[in-house]
Homo-oligomer: A and B are copies of this chain.
Amino acid sequence: MPAGRWSEETESRSPVDVVARLGVVTSYARNAEIFGEDQAAEHVYVVLSGAVRICKLLGDGRRQIETFCLAGDVFGWETAPKHRFSAEAVSECKVIRVKKSILFARAADDAELSHALWALTAAELSRTQNHLLVLGRKTAQERVATFLLDMASRAGTSQGAVGVEVTLPMSRQDIADFLGLTIETVSRTLTHLEETAAIALPSSRRVVLRDSVVLKRLNS
């Protein structure tokens, strides 16, 4: 496993690998809680396989999913001593858990690692800011289209290829709570996109992006 220099533009494999080598692997069952809100934040996690949802709850049970973490993504990241959100396994998944104290100690005299930690946080901030625009200003159709394109690009498919099939690891409820919609609206919107031939739905969890021009127009 080569060290690989960190560069500002690319999300090099290196920092995640560095983190990975310092921790231990744990498995979680579907819907298992990895950590809860207000729990002590002692670890940082890297997803190896499966998917994790990061969520916040309101007193009356309303839920907002901040992000979904797929293989290679890092979460648990915080300066605060307590987590300000919870993390749950969307599907059966494996994650690496690393003590924050160990990581920080190492970063203190490793400028490269230190920069990598910062870059990862900045990247997450950028994604979160994009999502703000989605939740604040986009319609249901636009939200769903944005979500599908995002999932497709994260699944590593070549950008804009026609007929790409994406398998969604999460339920409609998860999608709804991520997009600030209800389960019914998500379902109806997907049906509508299928009726207008923008996508195909061979099964509820599998989506084929048919007309990426239409989807991208909805994306902005």
Contact = CB atoms under 8 A, between A and B. Distances in A.
Given A85-B129, A132-B128, A136-B135, A122 B77 contact: yes
B128 A129 contact: yes
A160 interface: no
Interface string A105-122: 001110100110111011
Which 5 pairs, one residue from A and one from B, show the smallest C-beta to C-beta distance? A136-B180, A135-B135, A64-B136, A118-B118, A64-B133
A115 B108 CA distance: 8
B111 A79 contact: no
A62 interface: yes
Interface residue tally on A, bucketed by range? 35 or more
Interface string A46-71: 00000000001011001110100000
Interface of A is mostly: helix
A110 to B, nearest CB: 9
A4 interface: no
Given A129-B56, A220-B58, A79 B137 contact: no
A119 B114 CA distance: 11
A66 B127 CA distance: 12
A42 to B, nearest CB: 13
A137 B182 CA distance: 10
Contact of A118 (B59, B63, B117, B124): B117
B9 A81 contact: yes
B58 A135 contact: no
A99 interface: no
Nearest to A57: B133
Nearest to A122: B79
A108 B115 CA distance: 8
Interface string A76-120: 011111001100000000000000000000011101001101110
